[in-house]
Structure 1
């Protein structure tokens, strides 16, 4: 990601904004569809010029014209991956101490806490 002069430096684990994610998917889609266009043009030039090894190059161009648009649409509609530890944090919530223990409740242990020391 390119930083401009007005953007702050991100030092957290925050996900990119939905707008940034959309722009990234749009760029990837345009790039992949450009590859498809190049395959189409190369295939047309090869056929008209009767190039040597035409039997090899035309299937490669055909795969590029068929497979690349399909992948472009799949990747453009893809969402970012889920946070790997999101469910773990919900499972390890400490039990409330205000009331009696529930019958059949499974005791949970809190996850270890990481301490980051600034001083040596």
Structure 2
């Protein structure tokens, strides 16, 4: 009898292990779907009592199992409370680092003062115009 190793960490399962377990679930669900198809064919030839009920059950399995199998196969395991708290703290730290706080007194405003030239073709800054004139 093979003993399972003792888990001594809170680390999540490796992505390969997660992928393998999702593959197993997907193949299992699709096998059940194939079994529904085979059972439906056997039921039609055997004509048991309540045949429509059994056929509806098999048809529902054949329709809904592929949808559920894909959803389950693409889903990753839920995050633990510690992982959610760490993600929230990282998001908050990032938002505080990227959004500097300024008061209205410290804010510097850039004012662009432009006037048209005599010909009206191009706008030039007032400082440049004054230098050209003077």
**TM-score, normalised via structure 1 length:** 0.66
CA RMSD of aligned residues (A): 2.7
Corresponding residue of 2:58? 61
Counterpart check, 1:31 vs 2:28 = yes
What is the CA-CA distance between 1:86 and the residue it aligns to? 2.4
**TM-score, normalised via structure 2 length:** 0.59
**In the TM superposition, what whole-angstrom CA distance separates every residue of 1:27-68 from its partner, at most 9, and x where no partner exists?**
101110111111111110011111110111111000001100
Q: Secondary structure at the match of 1:15?
A: coil
Task: Look at both structures and tell me which one has the larger radius of gyration over its CA atoms.
Answer: 2
Counterpart check, 1:72 vs 2:69 = yes
Structure 1 or 2: more helix by fraction:
2
The structure 1 segments of at least 4 consecutive aligned residues displaced by more than 6 Å after TM superposition are: none
Larger RCO (CA within 8 A; separation ≥ 6):
1
Gaps of 5+ in 2: 104-134
For the residues of structure 1 that align with 2:57 and 2:86, how far apart are their CA atoms?
A: 42
For the residues of structure 1 that align with 2:50 and 2:88, how far apart are their CA atoms?
A: 56
